[in-house]
Structure 1
Amino acid sequence: MSPFQSMTHATVYIVITVIIFLIAATRKNPFVIAGSFVQEIFTSRKYLLHFAALITILFFNKLEMWVEKRIDYKADFTKSIYGIEGNFVSAIQHFFHNDILTVVSSYFYVVVFPSVMIASIALYTFKKNYKLFYAICYALMFNYMIAIPFYLFFPVNEVWSFHPSVKLLILDVFPTFEQDYRPLSGLDNCFPSLHTSISVSMAVIAVKSRNTFWKIFVPISSAFIIFTIFYLGIHWLSDMCAGVVLGVVAARLGLRISEGRLILGEQALLKRSLKNNEL
């Protein structure tokens, strides 16, 4: 029997995993943590606006797929990527192939990836570390805003769909993956890898946390998720490299904005410009 029978099963696993993460990070009742989130939603307009913007941006990937079906642009850069990379992904998949590793990798790809995002938001809210919460909101916005134009105008298909010796291993664990998960991400939405970029952004932001468990666990999980995109036969090496750059840039911009440094820097430049004009 496959661990994932449907997205309903995956959703249940995500909820359970988030609860485990929060208990491990705080040693507190997860319902108390959830209560702090609800309280912020109803008492802080700034928090509510940021959270609403975050939810909105997460639907942009669906919007991109809708737009892609309706524009007359049929480019495909998969062959060019394959010409550069060759059998890199195939070599990793065949070298590490193992049934247990396939289950663990699929769990990280489908469950741990969103669980880290959800738990991060809950943790930083509970700890009243609003700068990190806002940094996550900004970082996710930047990740999607920068990635979506590439998905529209630089389409690259997933490795398994093009490379003859690469298999989509996640189907061994999640047989309905293509029917249930595919509507969330197009087959040619490969470059850059959002699984990579968002995981890296979460890791960069988590390092700024004062929670010892979280600042160690999130970077480790991020590294393993990057491994899964190759092992499961989904992303190319170039997808990962672009994702790492995007993730770091998005996180650093998010942190700068949430800490006010970007705005203060712009103000300083403006004052310097005015002063020079006066001279």
Structure 2
Amino acid sequence: MIWPFGPYGTSIGLLLALTTPLYLLWTRKDPNHRLSLREIPLEIMNQRYYWHILLYAVMFGFKAFTDHHNEPLKEMVGGYTHFIHAIEGNFVHGVQSIIESEIIIQILSLHYLFAYLFIIWYPPVHHILSGDRDLADLSAMNYVFIYLLAVPFYLFFNVEVTSSYVPDVEALMYHDSWNIAFFTNNDPFDNGIPSLHIGLPISLLLIHRAHLKANGIEISTWRHRGLDRFIMANVAIYSFSILYLGIHWVSDIVPGLLLAVICSKTCIHIQPLLREFGIRGAIQTFIDPRHIKAIVFAIIFGMLAISVAINGPGTDSEHPDFRMEGDDVRLDTLEIHSLSTPTIVTVTNVGDVPVQILLVDRDFVEPLADRGFIDFESALPHGLSKTLEGDSEWSFEHLPENLLDVDVILMRSAQGSNEIAEVAILADYPDSDTLLVSGILLCLPSFGLMGLFVGHVRSERRPDHSG
């Protein structure tokens, strides 16, 4: 794509450009609820919306810090893509075969990032500008809580994207010259479960329904129904695009839906406590006798699950991380964790079909990627290559020259064999032991929220014997 801005810059630009027109469109029937420009600063201070701004800034750093753990921990926990593939088989290949259209690929690729950012950023702004304090709170909390809930899955239950594992499924969005730099910088390609592209908007829709029910409002007369319909439409698009673009498995959707239920319920429970009592109110509900047992159990169960995952079934050396046949080209990114201590990388051919491996600077690959296809032959002169026969491996030390020196590993079946080739990549990062400790700590908020959900649901179902 000939365009001066990358996918993130383009998506943010669209978000900024569309915020005002969409806000005016969706509030056109209730202009009296709109805040004037002069009222906005006072509203932010009076309703303490500066906490929302701070929360989003913190989450930006929190997500980056969490992503920093992903690859180093993978050495200890492995992956479970083979398990998901055993359930689904090559179903996603059939979805991708439904239609071949350059225009559709471009639209869905842009939509994948733009709509997700839109659903994160726009709803709180919409409700702040509409004077709807509770929904402004809930929309912001929704993003924070659902990401916190997903952290243990992302760090300790790795599932590769379908375009890395299912033969003939192309990485239509990832392997493209316009997208490849952004996604290799920001996407580990093995955070399949859960799909937050489904979970995030579904949770927000559940929050909307609960709000309508609590306030006795019919959705047909609701002043935010335009936004609600927009979110519903995006869920429908995502249900197809995340499969079609070679990203998610169908199985990724189910955990996303489960987290949506947990997230929406906990947001609705905690929000009024935060408004009335502040942080102390939120803390009190976590130590409430009706909730504390479930929270402690969830933390213990979560820690046990992590202990099972470490050096557990996902680390079986017979299971590949990448599978390919014919002219499939797979890609893995080597992250930068140290400029002084090398990362020990081991690439293993765990199958019988010979594979060709290429270690190359991403800058050489970027212009050679086009809608799922990477020109392996043209990249060969720019990197270090090796052909691995069945059950053989290649180990090397990787030490980047600077923080912008991103190298990738390209893989393909040697001589375009129509048999399936299988490769496993193990990277021993120098800070992996330290990151294991902090990675476990990053999971505690998720376990706490899950326990609170269980405890709160149980307390709601108990009969009230007071009075």
Q: Could you say which TM-score interval applies, normalised by the shorter chain? A: 0.7 to 0.9
How far the C-alpha of 1:231 sits from its partner, in A, is 1.2
Equivalent residue, structure 2, for 1:88: 91
1:158-173 matched pairs, under 5 angstroms:
158-171=161-174
1:35-74 matched pairs, under 5 angstroms:
38-45=41-48, 47-71=49-73, 72-74=75-77
Distance change in 2, residues 1:38/1:205 (3 Å) = farther
Equivalent residue, structure 2, for 1:133: 136
The correspondence for 1:116, drawn from 110, 116, 119, is 119
What CA distance in whole angstroms lies between the structure 1 residues aligned with 2:208 and 2:264?
10
Equivalent residue, structure 1, for 2:187: 185
Equivalent residue, structure 2, for 1:142: 145
Output the amino acid matched with 1:244: L
SS of 2:166's partner is: coil
What CA distance in whole angstroms lies between the structure 2 residues aligned with 1:113 and 1:150?
19
Output the amino acid matched with 1:21: L
Matched, 1:257 2:303: no
How far the C-alpha of 1:4 sits from its partner, in A, is 8.2
Structure 1: 5+ residue runs without aligned partners? Answer: none
Output the amino acid matched with 2:194: P
What CA distance in whole angstroms lies between the structure 1 residues aligned with 2:285 and 2:164?
46
How far the C-alpha of 1:155 sits from its partner, in A, is 0.6
Deviates further, 116-125 or 251-260: 251-260
Distance change in 2, residues 1:80/1:3 (3 Å) = farther
Equivalent residue, structure 2, for 1:76: 79
Conservation of the 8 A alpha-carbon contact between 1:139 and 1:250: yes
For the aligned residue pairs, the C-alpha RMSD in angstroms reads 3.5
What CA distance in whole angstroms lies between the structure 1 residues aligned with 2:4 and 2:22?
20
Distance change in 2, residues 1:51/1:228 (3 Å) = same
Conservation of the 8 A alpha-carbon contact between 1:203 and 1:222: no
Conservation of the 8 A alpha-carbon contact between 1:113 and 1:225: no
Structure in which a larger fraction of residues adopt helix: 1
Output the amino acid matched with 2:18: T
Distance change in 2, residues 1:81/1:146 (3 Å) = same
Identify the structure with bigger relative contact order (alpha carbons < 8 Å, sequence gap 6+).
1
Between structure 1 and structure 2, the one with the greater Rg is 2
Matched, 1:241 2:254: yes
1:3-42 matched pairs, under 5 angstroms:
5-6=5-6, 7-27=8-28, 38-42=41-45
Equivalent residue, structure 1, for 2:203: 201
SS of 1:73's partner is: helix
Conservation of the 8 A alpha-carbon contact between 1:93 and 1:232: yes
- Identity of matched residues, %: 23
SS of 1:24's partner is: helix
Structure in which a larger fraction of residues adopt strand: 2
Distance change in 2, residues 1:103/1:69 (3 Å) = closer
Cα distance per residue 1:63-91 (max 9 Å; x no partner)? 12212344452411111111111112111
SS of 1:95's partner is: coil
What CA distance in whole angstroms lies between the structure 2 residues aligned with 1:36 and 1:63?
36
Conservation of the 8 A alpha-carbon contact between 2:161 and 2:247: yes
How far the C-alpha of 1:229 sits from its partner, in A, is 0.7
What CA distance in whole angstroms lies between the structure 2 residues aligned with 1:160 and 1:153?
21
Output the amino acid matched with 1:22: Y
What CA distance in whole angstroms lies between the structure 2 residues aligned with 1:107 and 1:125?
27
Structure 2: 5+ residue runs without aligned partners? Answer: 212-221, 275-280, 292-461
What CA distance in whole angstroms lies between the structure 2 residues aligned with 1:229 and 1:184?
17
Conservation of the 8 A alpha-carbon contact between 2:203 and 2:264: yes
The count of corresponding residues between Structure 1 and Structure 2 is 271
What CA distance in whole angstroms lies between the structure 2 residues aligned with 1:130 and 1:123?
10
Equivalent residue, structure 1, for 2:109: 106
SS of 2:13's partner is: helix
What CA distance in whole angstroms lies between the structure 1 residues aligned with 2:92 and 2:38?
44
Distance change in 2, residues 1:38/1:119 (3 Å) = farther
